[in-house]
A and B are shown apart, each in its own frame.
Chain A
Amino acid sequence: MAADVEQKGRSKPENPFLIIGKPLATAARQFAKSLIRPSTIVYPFERLEDPKFREEVAIRSGRPIGVGQVWDNYRGVHALNVNTCISCNLCAFSCPDLCIDMVTVPGGDPKHPKKCPQIDYGKCSYCGFCSDACPEGCLSMTTRYELSTPKRAEMVYSPQKMFEIYQRKLPMNPIRLERPANEDSILLDVPLCIGCNACARDCPTECITMLDIPKVAPKPGEKPAKRIWKEPVINDSDCVRCGTCISVCPKECLFWGTHS
């Protein structure tokens, strides 16, 4: 059961004459090996993310330096496809370090400006929760890792800057999480709704439509209800579960739940 290493490891008593042959021989063997090619990678000139170089090194040094997908999985600087971003805010919500701000980018209509994530890499912990959360796959992590800059302000990457990274077609982290099968939907607490249209206005996927409902006459002795006689209907298949509607609803009448 237990491997007592005492007997095996310490079989040789301490030698008073300090014999040093073995370590010298080991170092000499390494010296002979390194004369051909040391294991180090001459970084700015040789890069592990270069697949050709990777194979070359693996062959030459005989040591299994990441062959295959190793480097592509790296979680580095984000690439953002601004065109497909739907401003759903999920990345900012899922960020544990609160380093994502949604900033306005040109291209949206003036009433509802388009907002895309801006990431402060001074705070980012590269956990990848934001790209896992992104429903459209427009925010993903690349293999880019060189961030050093003399100014702190340059650590803040604007959506445009991340779009430039996207356009460079760097290898992106290929692992995408599938959305869970039985996701909760957004349900409506009907009696509370006032039909204000806030949810439909701010829905990034425009999956909420306001349908007319029959007007209910006030009961005798009551004031007439102050509301618009409309009700949101959510198209579940288009919904990305971003919760924007929940956060804008003035009456907290939207909530998470299952249809059953």
Chain B
Amino acid sequence: MSEMWINMGPQHPMTHGLWNLRVRIDGEMILDVDPEMGYLHRGIEKISEDRHYNEVITLMDRTCYVAGMAWEHLYIQAAEKALGITAPERAEWIRMMSEEFQRLASHIMWYAAFVQDLGLMSPFLYGMRDRDLILDLFQAYTGGRLTYEYMRVGGVRNDLPEGFPKQAREVLDWLEPRLVEYDRLCMGSDIFRSRCDGLGVLKESDCVRLGVTGPMLRSAGSKRDIRKDRPYSRYSQVEFDVATADAGDVTGRYLVRMEEMRQSIRIIRQTLDWLDHHPGPVIADHLPRWLGAPYAPVGREGYLLKRNYPKGVGLSAIEEPHGEACAYVVNEGGEHPYRVKFRSPVFANLSACSHYLVGYRVADIPPIMGSVDVCVGEVDR
């Protein structure tokens, strides 16, 4: 059979969202790939310019629908830097805990979708079942299961409810043996190993050259993790290891993510211990009035704001579950940010796909693309 192009997407079980992978194949071999993104573009960066600093948070949850809390954290850090506000200590620890819970939920979601791509349905349901417990926890203190709207400029919306630490520890105790179970279903299965070993290899030098970050980079042997390298929030005060692997293939990414989940559990336990002993305010006082909850009409204050409030820019980077995300917020005065810009890790990881797909077989596309952990919401924004 001669060569042909097939469109995997935008409606295709492999894509996990809306994007199109054009593949040139010869029989079962991949000769060329061409990713097309932009089907889910919602103009989040532009809409942000027309909203109050706190109202942008509703968009952050929808930027990446599996890692909303991490994106909230990212944006809030940049916005606080731009506005020159610092959050109370307790709020920072709650944010860190939230981000780690989100990493756990996101990685479980990745696991579920990834293994389902290989044709195995049960881990998908196991994963969704266990992720639901984390969503229950999120609901307990934020009120939302996916769209949290929890962080605020200068802190977080509310403190943890009573009984939350106990329940969180119960969930962690439940999750730890589940991770072993996941491993037994995957690494314990030779069929799984034969599907994943040595596929989609991307060397560390290529990762750096192409801007590939996150578990994909670490699976190639790099130790780069923003939480360690440039600690933000209170990551310098907790103990955890950076998971790395050597081969840079699908199995390596799987191993790195599984280890990251264990490290997340470790971080959350330390955070919960800290939070138990350090009560305090969770939102900064003396915030400018227009950053508080009620957005009443500003009247002449709009002009005053532009004149009086210190201008600034904020740049923040966090280790999002998918990789390194950046946010850039420009405060030109006024109650709206002047410009908001994000760097999505998945966009870079996805754009490099011709470097780790060509030369493999059509049947390898689902495991390889699954191991990238595509979240189209943040790719297109």
Assess A/B contact in the complex (Cβ within 8 A): yes
Say whether B141 contacts A3, CB under 8 Å: no
- Given A94-B293, A94-B294, list of 5 further CB < 8 A pairs? A6-B247, A30-B126, A73-B143, A132-B294, A246-B297
Say whether A66 contacts B136, CB under 8 Å: yes
The answer, yes or no, to whether A125 is at the interface (CB within 8 Å) is yes
Query: Shortest CB–CB separation between residue B303 and chain A, in angstroms?
Result: 10
Say whether B185 contacts A23, CB under 8 Å: yes
> Within the assembled complex, what's the spacing in Å between the Cα atoms of A75 and B145?
9
Say whether A63 contacts B190, CB under 8 Å: no
Q: Given contacts A133-B295, A246-B296, is CB(A183)–CB(B143) below 8 Å?
A: no
Say whether B300 contacts A252, CB under 8 Å: yes
The answer, yes or no, to whether A4 is at the interface (CB within 8 Å) is yes
Number of A-B contacts (CB under 8 A): 210
Q: Which of A27, A71, A128, A243 is within 8 Å of B122, CB to CB?
A: A27
Say whether B299 contacts A4, CB under 8 Å: no
The 8 closest A-B pairs by CB, nearest first: A243-B296, A22-B188, A3-B241, A246-B299, A64-B170, A96-B55, A9-B255, A243-B297
Interface size on B, residues (CB 8 A): 76
Query: Shortest CB–CB separation between residue A124 and chain B, in angstroms?
Result: 10
Query: Shortest CB–CB separation between residue B193 and chain A, in angstroms?
Result: 5
Interface residues of chain B, those whose CB is within 8 Å of chain A, are 51-52, 54-55, 57-58, 62, 122, 126, 129, 133, 136-137, 139-145, 147, 149, 157-158, 161-163, 167, 170-171, 173-174, 181, 184-194, 197, 223, 228, 241-247, 251-252, 255-256, 258-259, 263, 285-287, 289, 292-301, 304
Say whether A2 contacts B139, CB under 8 Å: no
Q: Given contacts A3-B263, A175-B161, A255-B301, is CB(A133)–CB(B293) below 8 Å?
A: yes
> Within the assembled complex, what's the spacing in Å between the Cα atoms of A23 and B187?
9
Residue of B whose beta carbon sits closest to that of A25? B184
Chain A residues near B193 (CB, 8 Å)?
Answer: 14-15
Query: Shortest CB–CB separation between residue B189 and chain A, in angstroms?
Result: 4
Q: Which of B167, B171, B173, B252 is within 8 Å of A68, CB to CB?
A: B167
Say whether A5 contacts B243, CB under 8 Å: yes
Q: Given contacts A68-B167, A180-B285, A242-B294, is CB(A73)–CB(B141) below 8 Å?
A: yes
Q: Which of B58, B140, B191, B292 is within 8 Å of A180, CB to CB?
A: B292
Q: Given contacts A19-B190, A23-B185, A243-B296, is CB(A69)–CB(B161) below 8 Å?
A: yes
The answer, yes or no, to whether A127 is at the interface (CB within 8 Å) is yes
The answer, yes or no, to whether A93 is at the interface (CB within 8 Å) is yes
Query: Shortest CB–CB separation between residue A223 and chain B, in angstroms?
Result: 26
Within 8 A of B (CB), among A173-188: 173, 175, 177, 180-184
The answer, yes or no, to whether A151 is at the interface (CB within 8 Å) is no
The answer, yes or no, to whether A249 is at the interface (CB within 8 Å) is yes
Say whether B51 contacts A256, CB under 8 Å: no
Within 8 A of B (CB), among A1-51: 1-6, 9-10, 12, 14-15, 17-23, 25-27, 30, 39
> Within the assembled complex, what's the spacing in Å between the Cα atoms of A23 and B246?
25
Say whether A4 contacts B245, CB under 8 Å: yes
Q: Given contacts A65-B136, A66-B167, is CB(A9)–CB(B242) below 8 Å?
A: no
Chain A, residues 237-257, CB within 8 Å of chain B (1/0): the string is: 000011110110100101110
Chain A residues near B158 (CB, 8 Å)?
Answer: 175, 177
Kindly name the residue among A18, A22, A26 whose own CB sees the greatest number of chain B CB atoms within 10 A: A26
Chain A residues near B173 (CB, 8 Å)?
Answer: 64
The answer, yes or no, to whether A229 is at the interface (CB within 8 Å) is no
The answer, yes or no, to whether A126 is at the interface (CB within 8 Å) is yes
Query: Shortest CB–CB separation between residue A29 and chain B, in angstroms?
Result: 8
Say whether A126 contacts B147, CB under 8 Å: yes
Say whether B294 contacts A90, CB under 8 Å: yes
Chain A residues near B287 (CB, 8 Å)?
Answer: 180
Chain B residues near A126 (CB, 8 Å)?
Answer: 144, 147, 149
Q: Which of A27, A128, A141, A247 is within 8 Å of B297, CB to CB?
A: A247
Chain A residues near B252 (CB, 8 Å)?
Answer: 6
The answer, yes or no, to whether A74 is at the interface (CB within 8 Å) is yes
The answer, yes or no, to whether A129 is at the interface (CB within 8 Å) is yes
Q: Given contacts A1-B241, A18-B194, is CB(A69)–CB(B163) below 8 Å?
A: yes
Query: Shortest CB–CB separation between residue A84 and chain B, in angstroms?
Result: 17
The answer, yes or no, to whether A105 is at the interface (CB within 8 Å) is no
Say whether B295 contacts A94, CB under 8 Å: yes
Residue of B whose beta carbon sits closest to that of A27? B122
Chain B residues near A255 (CB, 8 Å)?
Answer: 299-301, 304
The answer, yes or no, to whether A147 is at the interface (CB within 8 Å) is no
